[in-house]
Structure 1
């Protein structure tokens, strides 16, 4: 038997930790959104700078990296869990402005702090970055923002995952689970969550600042299974920026007979300007690059078109698409077998890249409505909402997490809408935990709505089913120019309870209930309260 009880929905969050940036999304009151940092940016640079006695994290570190490059730590994600003699670590040793030293075959950072030379471990840098994200989360959600789901690449080892977990825990988060990045990206778009019978193949293409990953997921009954994956470093947006920097350096040399490449600070300033120019060209057809006193007191200005940039990076774009063919071949698939393509990562904003992906998958649905830098964090926050309140903190096994099935269907009747009969919200025998979202249209002139929740068999009448809860929204706007919409989220938790929230889109009004397993006698009193609310709201009594 089910017992109705009201509950204020707690907040939880998801974090995407990348090599160049970090993004935090918060799920609260049935909504998931990315949280802006103290500078108003929705993504935070994954950098830590030591300046005197202070440690700057995020934007402050990025803004000062030209003057303080030797004490600014970047790309820590690619170093954690690796040894000093790792090929990629060796590449960073040669190219990083911040000195990387060898201690017991482990890569450590050597920086100046408070006029002393100190050694900083990658784990310490992780903790500082997560503390920054914790302060961002706390400023939005209060002290109850503790539960978090973290994301990792598919090629991370258990040791690397554990390092990420420990750093987040040391920063104050309660780590509920760690999931892989492509699954979080698919969850952000609710792939397989709204329709339990959906079976599809999804290609998740992520191109970030310094790395690339291509993953093929099979989605079946809301479960994600990785069929094939490819991860590659030294392939990302930084290479596009470097191509633009080289062209600008050549133009400067041609115009002024001076080589800016001899000036490290000048090249760093030029790289900053070219990165901004590249971002502008993702939305505009042309952009200007201006750098004050780039070399020997000379200012530099150059205008470049999107077509010019695309011709410069054409070879890099082709290299970034080659892993797609390899992954499909390894999975014994063709482009026609892919139903949806999810683009993730800031570098996928480049229109030419999206055009090439569409040409490669002409029959697939391209999912790019969310900001690509935020997709993984949003999916992680949705996963946090799905499992919030559980003690389980094991690494998500996407192939074996099915667990129990629900023994009945969850049915819904919406008053003051076009829905006059029971509609199936979650079918019988759906695996839990599971999350389903449905949107219902409300008549324009109605100021209240009642969502009646029933359990029973599909196709049953209202009299044959059991009413377990009513959710009531009142004081809704009646001057809307179009029909109102109520989004209802049904969340089956692992222990069998059901958390339901409904939100009216225009006004933002929301209501939530939790249906727990309990004794039959406890059903009557909550139902009486619900009926009183319905009568006072002018909604039909159930």
Structure 2
């Protein structure tokens, strides 16, 4: 895919890894890239990569650096280096540390990574993750709403059938994906329970209202 995009063969790569990725997993990623025929020139956290793409590094690190991520004073427990000494050792390190939060809110949950930036060098300071507000949580809200709507219309409790609930969750998942690009979506399942079809339309505004407390947990 990458070669098709750039129109040329790719022989070198910087490998991105999840925040707080243990050393053995990083090594596994590097080994996999090597087996794929790539020369790994560096390893970088996904959060740092996102920050780099967003242009949050004002200055580029020197070419001889293998990684865009280096241990900051706060991460190692060391005292802040003397700026004059820094200037002698690396002219790119002379400005004050600035911090930025990289937020990744997706199907697997919410991940917030705090990065420190100094002289164009990004460093991961801390990382927090919650799986309580990922895609499954939003899908379950729609499942609950559809279950209540089905019961109101048919006087039947679809939760009594595990098979029916699996089908309902699948239909809700499709509808949630549709709502990311459309103003409304249909939750549909033929013969969902006792031969009765499920047909329900929901607007994006109504769905967001159902999930308002999930958004509210993080001030959205």
> Could you state the TM-score of these two structures normalised by the residue count of structure 2?
0.68
Q: Where does residue 14 of structure 2 map in the other structure?
A: 149
Does the aligned pair in 2 maintain the 1:198–1:222 contact within 8 Å? no
Q: Where does residue 190 of structure 2 map in the other structure?
A: 292
Q: Report which structure shows greater RCO (CA 8 Å, sep ≥6).
A: 1
Q: How many residues align?
A: 187
Q: 1:201 to 1:266 in 2, by over 3 A?
A: same
> Could you state the TM-score of these two structures normalised by the residue count of structure 1?
0.31
Tell me, yes or no, if structure 1 residue 276 matches structure 2 residue 174: yes
Q: 1:231 to 1:291 in 2, by over 3 A?
A: same
Q: Where does residue 189 of structure 1 map in the other structure?
A: 54
User: Residue 228 of structure 1 aligns to a residue in which SS?
Assistant: strand
Q: 1:290 to 1:223 in 2, by over 3 A?
A: same
Tell me, yes or no, if structure 1 residue 158 matches structure 2 residue 23: yes
Of 180-189 and 250-259, more deviation after overlay is shown by 250-259
Separation in 2, partners of 1:227, 1:272: 38
Separation in 2, partners of 1:205, 1:189: 12
Tell me, yes or no, if structure 1 residue 304 matches structure 2 residue 202: yes
Q: Which has the larger share of strand? A: 1
Separation in 1, partners of 2:192, 2:35: 42
User: Residue 55 of structure 2 aligns to a residue in which SS?
Assistant: coil
Q: Where does residue 123 of structure 1 map in the other structure?
A: none
Q: Where does residue 142 of structure 2 map in the other structure?
A: 244
Does the aligned pair in 1 maintain the 2:59–2:119 contact within 8 Å? no
Structure 2 residue runs of 5 or longer lacking an equivalent are 61-91
Q: 1:156 to 1:199 in 2, by over 3 A?
A: closer
Separation in 1, partners of 2:118, 2:31: 32
Does the aligned pair in 2 maintain the 1:218–1:225 contact within 8 Å? yes
Q: 1:293 to 1:198 in 2, by over 3 A?
A: farther
Separation in 2, partners of 1:267, 1:175: 46
Q: 1:172 to 1:154 in 2, by over 3 A?
A: same
Q: How does 1:112-191 map to 2 (within 5 A)?
A: 136-137=1-2, 140=5, 144-191=9-56
Of the two, which has the highest radius of gyration?
1
Does the aligned pair in 2 maintain the 1:292–1:298 contact within 8 Å? yes
Does the aligned pair in 2 maintain the 1:210–1:236 contact within 8 Å? yes
Does the aligned pair in 2 maintain the 1:213–1:232 contact within 8 Å? yes
Cα deviation, residue 280, structure 1: 3.5
Q: 1:285 to 1:227 in 2, by over 3 A?
A: same
Does the aligned pair in 2 maintain the 1:210–1:234 contact within 8 Å? no
User: Residue 153 of structure 2 aligns to a residue in which SS?
Assistant: helix
Structure 1 residue runs of 5 or longer lacking an equivalent are 1-135, 322-355, 358-542
Separation in 2, partners of 1:176, 1:201: 26
Tell me, yes or no, if structure 1 residue 210 matches structure 2 residue 105: no
Q: 1:138 to 1:223 in 2, by over 3 A?
A: closer
Of 282-291 and 296-305, more deviation after overlay is shown by 282-291
Cα deviation, residue 204, structure 1: 0.9
**CA offset digits 1:170-206 (Å, max 9, x no partner):** 4454433321121111011111246987964311111
Cα deviation, residue 155, structure 1: 1.9
Cα deviation, residue 210, structure 1: 1.7
Q: 1:168 to 1:263 in 2, by over 3 A?
A: farther
